[in-house]
Amino acid sequence: MSKIKPSKGAPYARILGVGGYRPTRVVPNEVILEKIDSSDEWIRSRSGIETRHWAGPEETVAAMSVEASGKALADAGVDASRIGAVVVSTVSHFAQTPAIATEIADRLGTDKAAAFDISAGCAGFGYGLTLAKGMVVEGSAEYVLVIGVERLSDLTDLEDRATAFLFGDGAGAVVVGPSREPAIGPTVWGSEGDKAETIKQTVSWDRFRIGDVSELPLDREGNVKFPAITQEGQAVFRWAVFEMAKVAQQALDAAGISPDDLDVFIPHQANVRIIDSMVKTLKLPEHVTVARDIRTTGNTSAASIPLAMERLLATGDAKSGDTALVIGFGAGLVYAATVVTLP
């Protein structure tokens, strides 16, 4: 018989507060059109994006995360000293080590909280939320801060007509803590590594370091381009529309609810056409509020779901206690979907 004592965690976990930060600079499509042959109408019709936010020099991954986290902590009514773990999902923190989560935990004033980064692209928030739920229920942390943050403007090739208009910057954060009733459903998550080439970094860091011009992409002036995110748009679109709708339905089934029971749908803000197609495939009722934050925020990868959640609550389009389906999907290809009760 094991001599290990059972964990003393909470029976369930829930999102207690949410916060977001969008950089001050708003970038309209006209700025993007300075370097690509396209039009405002084409960008809007293909993606739904009208504007996006780009971070300035002082709006670092850490700085944006601290701002969003401060709002989430205040919303939850939880002091930073009570945070037991900080989980940061990002692909745009360029230091291999240490994890940016450690700096964020220190700047927030946590009491030596566990802190680590994860790389799960646009599904990263869902991955972090699942880890946080496990920590609260298992008892290794009473409160967990989950942050999705990106400076994707640093990884955007402004000469790439297929992606130049897509990406934005920002941070979203939630506080996860104990609950007396189920408020974060089972997560349906996974990966399809055979499709990894459909969304990827143009050049690996080791190849970029070598700097062999014969093997690296060049800009119009003949300079080596900084590594950027590239994707096969049509392949990603088909996968997201057809496969992710199935995953979303599985998350509903796992939570024991139907589309009629939903109040809010918060998908990863990748493309309005993808969002609208998923709504149609899932046959969501008209009463379900659908997040379309991408119109003014762009695709912020791991930050997109918490940012969209924060905006819906701030505008009153969603309210505390609403039942929401959240799903993220992206590079890997990876995905994560779950049903939550909004804070």
Distance (Å) of CA 52 to CA 63, 146, 169, 251, 264: 18, 23, 8, 30, 23
What whole-number distance in Å separates Cα of residue 303 and Cα of residue 149? Answer: 5
The residue among 35, 28, 89 whose CA lies nearest residue 300 is: 89
Lookup: tokens for 237: 């679109």
289-290, strands of its sheet edge to edge: 188-191, 334-341, 323-330, 264-267, 289-290
Q: List Cβ neighbours of 21 (8 Å cut-off, separation of 6 or more).
A: 64, 65, 67, 68, 71, 170, 171, 172
**String of DSSP letters for 186-228:** --EEEE-GGGGGGEEESS-HHHHHHT-GGGS-B-TTSPBPPP-
DSSP state of 36: S
- Integer Cα distance of 26 and 11 in angstroms: 43
Residues marked active site are found at: 122, 268, 299
Instruction: List beta partners, residue 191.
Output: 334
Beta 264-267 vs 229-231: how paired, if at all? unpaired
End-to-end CA distance of the chain: 41
Contact 55, 297 (CB under 8 A): no
- The residue type of 316 is G
Burial 225-239, CB ≥16 within 10 A → b, else e: bebbbbbebeebbeb
Q: Which of 75, 99, 98, 79 is nearest to 89 (CA)?
A: 99
